[in-house]
Structure 1
Amino acid sequence: MFFSKHIAKQGANKAEKFDYIMQFLKRMAGNEFIGFSNATFQSEKETGDRNYAIGYYLKEKKCFPEGADMVSALDLYFQLCSIEVNCQSGSVIAATLANGGICPITGERVLSAESVRNTLSLMHSCGMYDFSGQFAFHVGLPAKSGVSGAILLVVPNIMGVFCWSPSLDRIGNSVRGIHFCHELVNLFNFHHFDNLRHCAKKVDPRKETRESQHKTVVNLLFAAYSGDVSALRRFALSAMDMEQKDYDSRTALHVGAAEGHMDVVKFLTEGCKVNPFVEDRWGSIPLQDAIRFERHDVVKLLTEYQETYVKKQMGAEEPISLENLESMV
């Protein structure tokens, strides 16, 4: 579904189509491991009599576009069946689908929202072979299984899961993987039709307790203190409020400016567009902290950012004077 528009493009050979799909999957996986098993490809090609029969039936019913080569299409299909992932890369692919098509590792939009919606609808209705109906009834989440023992599970807007256990049932699904999915929705109210307000017997991880909120603030400010931009990027991609305050009303920008971490300040200002005028309980803003600790590069950056921020907030076309800027501070 993701690739049909590009695969059908005239002039592209099988190698170009396969390479495009591999690169696409790598983007979905945040550049984690994506491999290919030639042994699996040869086995699929030699034993795919049913697929050849279905292909010829579709060709007889004029289902292929004019000029399309059915055998080449099947060959590409067998190649795609032989692509390999591990639990890490598979989970990132699942998380990309759960995140509306935006990879949570790189922040890149790989899929449109419409493509994600259509893909999850297909996974929900027919992703688990002949077990799809029962899975939709008992688990109520979009998933895709494979005869390798893998199950890719998507909890929309929350997380993606990839589990692998080779013991299969008679339908071809992982026995332990199915059991895990049942246990997951028994514990959490992730089922598509679970009530979010009156499902008292299940846990809702989307509701933050006061203790977890405090922990979130501590993690955010500690990342700013230690200069860990990678952690800040993960927090931002998980929709965390990057302007959260601690008990002293200090934000991550206060801490980053005081410590002189240019990368942190640049990420919070340019990437997260945080408010530079937030005051702590002593009435100081991040720029004043940078001045106090003589972080000259940070002072210059914050001064320029404050002017840009004021223009954007006020919709001003004229340059903001220093007097007006200081009065706002």
Structure 2
Amino acid sequence: MQLYSFVRAASSNLQMLIKIATNDFCVPQFSHFQTIIRELYDFCAPNSEGHNASYIPQLAAVDPSKWAISVCTIDGQKFNIGDVDALFTMQSTSKPLTYALAITEHGPDKVHDYVGYEPSGRKFNLVILNDNNKPHNPLINSGAIAVTALMKNGSCMPERFMYINKELSRMAGGVNLGFNNPVYLSERSSADRNFSLAYYMREHKCFPPGTDLHETLDLYFQICSIETDSKAMATIAATMANGGVNPITGERILSGPAVRDTLSVMHSCGMYDYSGQFAFKVGLPAKSGVSGAIMLVVPNLMGIAIYSPRLDEQGNSVRGIQFCQELVKRFVFHNYDSLLHSSAKLDPRKHLHEDRVQSVVRLLFAAKNNDLNELRRCLIANVDFNTTDYDDRTGLHVAASAGAFDAVRFFIEVAHVDPNPLDRWHIKKGEISPSVEDKSLPKFNSFDADTVRSPNKLRDFVKKEKKEDPETAMN
């Protein structure tokens, strides 16, 4: 690339270039993350349980062996593996997106005048409303139909569909989304229950005034028949993870409250009758569809799209569920995983050796400051008390050099560390290394176990060392 071309490219992507130069990405070790995703992909691939959705002929005819995973982080890092170019209709994965668009357009209060936000505890397509005669939530059929009625209400049908398709395309980073007309026609021809549900809702005034019932249902079927692939869906999920801002284009598409409310409902209601178990086992917002897609969101980090057509009894992708469960076994992604304490799970947000560096810093500062409470916390967190800094200095070195006799006693008696460690200059605890200028520090060259176990003896030892050191005595 010539200098002029580079300058032009850099001027429009300066922030990204800085991230690249400093490796300041939300997943700094992305290649390692990709390796683990590839392992999970291969682990789940042999699973051939489940069957394609059969009530729509076009879905039943899809190759059941299709298997794809796509990842997009909020910094635009991407990884794709498998049949990522395979097209599928969005089906119910569109429901949280139309809900978010409706809240962005109308605000949460108006939307929630027509739909609730709690699990129904019943099948997603039952003719049932909550105690307030509203659909329980926007991720079941009744709620999604009510939300569809709100979108650009008053505009003509072509404008309404074009608006929704355009907004979904913006969430996907500008990718053109297709439309599967045969699926739409099949959905429409087998929609007796949805028509019954819509008439029941109209009886209970669940729609805005002036709603055309048949137009609303047609638009609902059309939205479900929008066609995409796992790559575009991962970017859509990343837009949700990024608070409504597309990570590729930088455009704000959804409002903050819309994303917050949508992720909350996805967490509690997004996986049909498996939603409660999914929230318990996986602990992430997700939405599945009968085409075999799962849209998974790791808030403030990434979006993941999973596609495999074979479904379980609840209508969720069998491989998709397995992948999600394996994912949270490897990474601290579950909503209630602790990010504060050491864990066997990996945190992809962290740089290489970040946990060890933080542990060393905590330990050495606690040793220097004679902070027993922090030392106890380190012990509970399974911090290695024999760990060293870049000069091979242990916490015992630091505690002894600082005269922190309580910390010294803790290291030897409680943590049971090596009592005579050597740093890079082969200097023992309490001796002053060549890099230390302060010669007034006490020198704990040797002390026995009895001294360590007795606070009074240890204090006397410190006083004696200070008194016998001529430089210390002068001070």
Interval containing the TM-score (normalised by the shorter chain):
0.5 to 0.7
Q: CA deviation at 1:139?
A: 0.3
1:84 aligns with 2:227: yes
Residues 91 and 160 in structure 1, CA contact (< 8 A), matched pair in contact too: yes
Partner of 1:114: 257
Comparing 13-22 and 121-130, the one that deviates more: 121-130
Residues 127 and 144 in structure 1, CA contact (< 8 A), matched pair in contact too: yes
Greater helix content: 1
Residues 101 and 254 in structure 2, CA contact (< 8 A), matched pair in contact too: no
Q: CA deviation at 1:113?
A: 1.0
Q: CA deviation at 1:2?
A: 3.1
Match of 2:170 among 1, 12, 27: 27
Distance 1:200-1:9 versus aligned 2 partners, 3 A rule: closer
User: What amino acid does structure 1 have at the position aligned with 2:302?
Assistant: M
User: What amino acid does structure 2 have at the position aligned with 1:43?
Assistant: S
Residues 295 and 305 in structure 2, CA contact (< 8 A), matched pair in contact too: yes
1:144 aligns with 2:287: yes
Q: CA deviation at 1:198?
A: 2.1
Q: Following the alignment from structure 1 to structure 2, what is the Cα–Cα distance between the partners of residues 199 and 134?
A: 26
Structure 2 unaligned spans of 5+: 1-98, 107-149, 355-475
1:126 aligns with 2:269: yes
TM-score by length of 2: 0.43
Structure 1 unaligned spans of 5+: 212-329
Match of 1:16 among 152, 156, 159: 159
Match of 2:216 among 46, 69, 73: 73
Alignment of 1:187-226 (within 5 A): 187-209=330-352
TM-score by length of 1: 0.62
Partner of 1:242: none
1:169 aligns with 2:312: yes
Q: CA deviation at 1:210?
A: 5.4
Aligned residue-pair number: 212
Q: Secondary structure at the match of 1:2?
A: helix
Q: CA deviation at 1:8?
A: 4.7
Percent identity of paired positions between Structure 1 and Structure 2: 58
Q: Secondary structure at the match of 1:95?
A: helix
Q: Following the alignment from structure 2 to structure 1, what is the Cα–Cα distance between the partners of residues 180 and 346?
A: 40
Residues 58 and 64 in structure 1, CA contact (< 8 A), matched pair in contact too: yes
Partner of 1:100: 243
Q: CA deviation at 1:62?
A: 0.9
Partner of 1:2: 100
Q: CA deviation at 1:71?
A: 1.6
User: What amino acid does structure 2 have at the position aligned with 1:23?
Assistant: K
RMSD: 1.7
Residues 189 and 199 in structure 1, CA contact (< 8 A), matched pair in contact too: no
Identify which of structures 1 and 2 has the higher relative contact order when contacts are C-alpha pairs closer than 8 Å and 6+ apart: 2
Q: Deviations over 1:19-69 (max 9, x none)?
A: 000000010000124111001100110101111111011100011111111
Residues 33 and 89 in structure 1, CA contact (< 8 A), matched pair in contact too: no
